[in-house]
Amino acid sequence: GWFYLDGPNGRDLVAQWKERTGMLGLRFYTNERHPQSWFTDGTLDWLWPAAERAQVPVSLGAAMFLPTLGKIAERDPGLKLIVDHMGVPRASKGEAAYRFQPELLALAKYPNVAVKATGQAGYAEDEYPFRSLHPHLHRCFDAFRPERMFWGTDITRMPCSWRQCVTLFTEELPWLKGRDLDLVMGEALCNWIGWPLAAGARS
């Protein structure tokens, strides 16, 4: 879930967030209400320790401020962070979409930072199985390992079917198999945000 970060009662909302039905974390993107500068100029310095105290994971579209995210992770080591869209800026395509991957991979040294591979098909310039993406996915997997890399779709923006969004990971990446595949395709995210799996859901 999310709320407007310029509202008057943000600290109270974070403190009580998990009391809301179905709420296990927060997700924010920069937009007209949440300028990018807020994430780097100290405006949101209250948010990180508040989320850490409340044990609320925070997912961010952080492509433009990945080094700052590293500082937050180091300062608030009990705060679980997720870099959404694998650190790719919105509306990016091709190799240029992954220009910040070195900064993303540098965050893997922080055990409280994970990455979500949301919407990757939408950044490809080739067709399914989007072989241009495979090296980027592999590097991310090698850095964060399956416990901290999560599958995602952003399906309404994808140039392919839902099934292909799934099979890109389950059938087209020869290095992603077995237990690692189970983790990436959902179990690791459930573990990260504290979403209990139903009995028998684990492979």
Tens of pLDDT, residues 99-108: 999 999 999 9
- For domain 10-193, give the CATH superfamily: Metal-dependent hydrolases (3.20.20.140)
Tell me, what's the pLDDT at 171? 98
Tell me, what's the pLDDT at 201? 62
70's tokens:
């590293």
Q: Distance between CA atoms of 103 and 89, rounded to whole angstroms?
A: 13
pLDDT tens digits for range 148-194: 999 999 999 999 999 999 999 999 999 999 999 999 999 999 999 99
Report which of 84, 81, 70, 80 is spatially closest to residue 120, judged by C-alpha positions: 84
pLDDT tens digits for range 49-90: 999 999 999 999 999 999 999 999 999 999 999 999 999 998
Domain regions of the chain by residue span: 10-193
Specify the pTM.
Answer: 0.94
38's tokens:
């807020």
Is the pLDDT score of 203 beyond 80?
no
Whether 176 contacts 184, CB under 8 Å: yes
